[in-house]
Structure 1
Amino acid sequence: MRIGYFLSSEEYTPAELIAQAKAAQKAGFQALWISDHYHPWVDAQGQSPFVWSTIGALSQVCTLPVTTAVTCPTIRIHPAVVAQAAATSAVLHEGRFRLGVGSGEALNEQILGDDWPEADVRLEMLEEAVAVMRELWQGGVVSHRGPHYTVRNARLYTLPDKPPPVYVSAFGPKAVELAGRIGDGYVSTMPDGDLVKAFRENGGGDKPAQAGFKAAYADSAEEGARIAFEKWPNAAVPGELSQILPTPKHFEQASQLATQEKVAEAFVCGNDAGEHLEMIDRYAQAGFDEIYVANTGPHWQGLMDLYESSVLPKLRR
């Protein structure tokens, strides 16, 4: 089992993300996730740097594998352009880059005024986008005319020795079926063993399954819960709302129905190493091979120190 650190682009500046990546490698984390957003979920999070710039910078400061968690290659950025960004990232990271993809959220994808398709159409678009990217990664000139995308005389000149693996995010039955069928791996944020099983039974086999959870490191669980509620009230927004709400203001309005106690249920709050180990075990028992923890709030170095001294050594044993 691999334990990684999740770089939250919604909450930290590019410089802070780079510092966290360096600290994560020093602490003994084995890999990195990084989120790909145009907007934060709510204004309190306060950041949203362009992920591809950050990924390039990461290649110069650490040697940990990097996965986007996740990129939507369908509306905001054409898959032919995402293919170029991912290929360059794989070259910079010397083959340690993995492209995590998903069907996206209106929060990020509607900024150009495009319609927001229903879920089934978004999955069709994702499948076609992945096929376009994989064809471009083979080299040579590509022309493609499909139901959703057109590519004309495109060629990627900067390519890694091997195409970057594509890991597919999925939470519902149709998406999990797609992930198993086309993905080189699976991405989730829920410790749901049934989803992992469905991925494996639909073609995923023994391919890697990744998942992540959030923490709010602080001197006490109460202070951690306060930080979590301040920065991530959207963690309590239920169902498909996370896919269809279009702006941070809408998420703030929906989050008014949340309570601090409800948000804290989705986090590991405070500084108890045992609670982190229990959360990691929940994901391990669900069948995940790689588990990533994200910090929220200002005390991320405390989380690094906790994992270096009290969490990662116990997992190694």
Structure 2
Amino acid sequence: MTEYGYFLSCEEFTPAQLLDQARLAAEAGFTRLAVSDHFHPWNDAQGSSPFVWSVIGALSQTVDLPVTTLVTCPTVRLHPAVTAQAAATSAVLLGGRFTLGVGTGEALNEHVHGDRWPSFDERAEMLEEALEVMRKLFTGEQVSHRGRHYTVDNARLYTVPAEAPPVYVSGFGPNAAALAGRIGDGFVTMTPDRDLVGAFRADGGAGKPVIGGVKVCWNDDRDKAVDLVHRLWPTELLPGELAQLLPTPAHFEQASELVTPEMVAEAVTCGNDVDEHVATLRSYVDAGFDEVYVGQIGPDNEAFFDHYRREVLPALPR
């Protein structure tokens, strides 16, 4: 059975707007929430970036839906011991309805202390050690750890949930899928790639959940929707490892000059064609995803939620 959730984009919306969207999502019939974790937005046009752990605390008092981070990097900007405390508190506030989605991160968010930005292989090694540290701390026992990347000295979390939150690992290529299969409780990936899902399941992920997300722009004027996406989220179309390597919103704005409106119109679901929106989400179901999160680009949220409640969600396979 596939569940459909709403993707809260901290890069584009204020905390108050995110809480309003969460309420509307619950009323529209979405059964889960995902929330991004950024220090910077991708570009200045998006214009927001609240601290995700504060947002999650507010969400816990606003709606009863489960919440997943898509995704947190627990290796550079925040030490894994601090991330573990934030995740444990979130799980307590949400009554166990919290999933910690993690990844190897982007320089955009993680370079802010002035640390060197490691290669993917080193970041993957750091992530594996970070998960080891966090899972020990989730037990509520006193933990000391001295590893290659992290030291923990007599740390104990006193506020922990009855059960440790599941940790889902993000990945966009076969090596990352294999890592997720080996160390994750689930897999996060943003494209409906059946082969990548298969690689995850073959490398230790059999029986574990696969979740993904996609951004759309519902608008009665398709051209206006394309323009909104081109202005706010051209970064979605940047190729390769640029999203992991570029350090500032200004660099993303420079790279995004290569993205044309025609590219957006071809790649992103824009406009009010119900069948097109249904097909976009169905592609994830067909690729073997267990949870699919959809986020609306731009300010027209009420129309998005109204049409998804009446037309799109009822037409999706369960």
- Whether 1:256 and 2:257 are equivalent positions in the alignment is yes
Rounded Cα–Cα distance in structure 2 between residues aligned with 1:89 and 1:150: 24
1:146 — aligned with what?
147
Aligned-partner Cα distance in 2 for 1:284–1:173: 20
1:176 aligns with 2:155: no
* TM-score, scaled relative to structure 1: 0.98
Task: Assess if the C-alpha contact under 8 Å between 2:140 and 2:159 holds in 1.
Answer: no
- Distance in 1, matches of 2:262 and 2:295, equals 19
- Answer with 46-55 or 280-289: which moved more: 280-289
Aligned to 2:137: 136
SS at match of 1:111: helix
For 1:173 and 1:74, locate their aligned partners in 2 and report how far apart those are by CA, in whole Å: 21
Deviations 1:95-117 (A, max 9, x none): 00000000000000000000000
Deviates more, 1:248-257 or 1:279-288: 279-288
1:32 is aligned to 33
Q: Which residue of 1 aligns with 2:53?
A: 52
* Gaps in structure 1 of 5+ consecutive residues: none
Secondary structure at the aligned position of 1:144 is classed as strand
- Please give the alpha-carbon distance, in whole angstroms, between the structure 2 residues aligned to 1:235 and 1:312: 24
Q: Is this contact kept in 2: 1:13–1:47, CA < 8 A?
A: yes
8 A contact 1:211–1:290 mirrored in 2: yes
Whole-angstrom distance in 1 between the partners of 2:267 and 2:123: 27
Residue 170 of structure 1: CA displacement?
0.5
- What secondary structure does 1:258 align onto? coil
How many Å separate the matches in 2 of 1:273 and 1:167? 31
| Letter in structure 1 aligned against 2:306 | D
Amino acid at match of 1:11: E
Helix, strand or coil for the counterpart of 1:275?
helix
> Aligned in 2, Cα 1:244/1:316: closer, same or farther, shift over 3 Å?
closer
- Partner of 1:293, secondary structure, is strand
Find the residue that maps to 1:312 and give its secondary structure. Answer: helix
Residue 65 (structure 2) aligns with: 64
Identity over the aligned pairs, expressed in percent? 61
Q: 1:300: Cα distance to partner? A: 1.4
Provide the rounded CA distance (Å) in 1 between the counterparts of 2:38 and 2:205: 27
Q: How many residues align?
A: 317
Matched, 1:304 2:305: yes
Question: Which residue does 1:160 correspond to in 2?
Answer: 161
Q: What is the distance in 2 between the residues matched to 1:265 and 1:34?
A: 26
Indicate the SS of the match to 1:213.
strand
- Residue of structure 2 equivalent to 1:185: 186
Between the aligned partners of 1:88 and 1:264, the Cα distance in structure 2 is 41
- Cα deviation for residue 315 of structure 1 reads 2.3
Q: Distance in 1 between matches of 2:95 and 2:249?
A: 36
What is the root-mean-square deviation of aligned Cα atoms in Å? 0.9
Q: What is the identity, as a one-letter code, of the residue corresponding to 2:291?
A: E
Match of residue 272 from structure 1: 273
TM-score by length of 2: 0.98
**One-letter identity of the residue aligned with 1:113:** G
Listed one character per residue, the Cα deviations across residues 209-240 of structure 1 (whole Å, up to 9, x for unaligned) are 00111111211221111110010111221100
Partner Cα separation in structure 2 for residue 309 and residue 227 of structure 1: 24
Mean Cα deviation higher: 83-92 or 258-267: 258-267
Q: Is this contact kept in 2: 1:80–1:133, CA < 8 A?
A: yes
> Which residue is 1:204 aligned to?
205
Look up the equivalent residue of 1:264 and give its one-letter code.
A
Gaps of 5+ in 2: none
Moved more, 278-287 or 2-11: 278-287
Rounded to whole Å, the distance in 2 between the matches of 1:31 and 1:119 is: 30
Q: CA deviation at 1:316?
A: 6.0
1:214, 1:266 within 8 Å by CA — same for their partners in 2?
A: no
The 1-side partners of 2:129 and 2:266 are apart by 37
Deviations 1:233-271 (A, max 9, x none): 112211001100000000000001110121233321011
1:16 & 1:308 partners in 2: Cα distance?
19
Check whether the contact 1:184–1:208 (CA below 8 A) recurs between aligned residues: yes
